[in-house]
């Protein structure tokens, strides 16, 4: 059975870099949204940016929901597996190392990235989850040993309260992930500090990342 196809953009790596950033947009975004962010985070990395296949009131998403914060968990599971299959297929098509993929997701994109880590941990080496929350009430007992995860939450976020991001961090830690949670002085939108923390995390410069 062939892997599902996503509308996407792919930017090849430069300067011999093996890193691949899987860019996952928020609700209402598309495959172009996070390309500038990916280039800011690592100008040499390959960028793979798919568009979510679910449409809610004309706005693309990565999985269905019944209401704000109430998710169709069966669809989350289905879509996370489809996206993981797409990434594996893209690795063959574009000739990148599938063990070097790091997800960079915002909001809905961060949520599907977290679901992928829990359901298909082999797909991602790590993840930057910008404004993420718990989406699965009964996540699998995935082995996330050696997986690095950065979660950035907004202290004044009315869409995803910081406490929800803390629960997600705890779930990932319980499964062995090396999780860094940062609460920014921000709402649901991203701020410059998110970019700074993400870039430093990618460089493994943990000493410079401030809570």
- Cα separation, 170 vs 166, whole angstroms: 6
Q: Find all residues with CB under 8 Å of 39, minimum gap 6, and list them.
A: 11, 47
Question: Quick count: other Cβ atoms within 10 Å of Cβ 190?
Answer: 19
Selecting among 42, 157, 194, 198, the annotated active-site residue is: 157
Selecting among 25, 42, 49, 107, the annotated active-site residue is: 107
Q: Which two tokens stand for residue 50?
A: 């798919």
Cβ–Cβ under 8 Å, residues 3 and 92? no
Give yes or no: 157 in active site: yes
Give yes or no: 188 in active site: yes
Give the C-alpha distances (Å, rounded to integers) separating 74 from 65, 77, 81, 119. Answer: 10, 5, 11, 12
Selecting among 188, 204, 208, 211, the annotated active-site residue is: 188
Catalytic residue positions?
Answer: 107, 157, 188
């Amino acid at each position: 059975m062939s892997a599902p196809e996503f509308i996407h953009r792919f930017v090849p790596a430069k300067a011999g870099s093996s890193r691949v950033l899987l860019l996952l947009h928020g609700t209402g975004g598309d495959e172009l949204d996070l390309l500038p962010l990916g280039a800011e985070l690592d100008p040499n990395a390959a960028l793979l940016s798919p568009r979510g296949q679910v449409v809610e009131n004309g706005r693309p998403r990565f999985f269905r929901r019944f209401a704000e914060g109430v998710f169709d968990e069966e669809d989350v599971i289905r879509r996370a597996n489809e996206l993981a299959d797409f990434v594996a297929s893209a690795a063959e098509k574009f000739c990148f190392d599938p063990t070097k993929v790091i997800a960079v997701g915002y909001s809905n994109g961060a949520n599907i990235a977290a679901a992928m880590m829990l359901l298909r941990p082999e797909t991602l080496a790590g993840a930057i989850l910008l404004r993420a929350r718990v989406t699965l009430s009964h996540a699998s007992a995935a082995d996330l040993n050696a997986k690095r995860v950065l979660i950035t939450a907004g202290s004044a976020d009315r869409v995803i309260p910081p406490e929800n991001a803390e629960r997600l961090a705890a779930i990932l830690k319980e499964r062995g992930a090396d999780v860094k949670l940062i609460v920014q002085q921000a709402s649901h939108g991203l701020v410059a500090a998110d970019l700074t923390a993400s870039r430093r995390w990618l460089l493994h410069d943990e000493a410079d990342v401030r809570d």
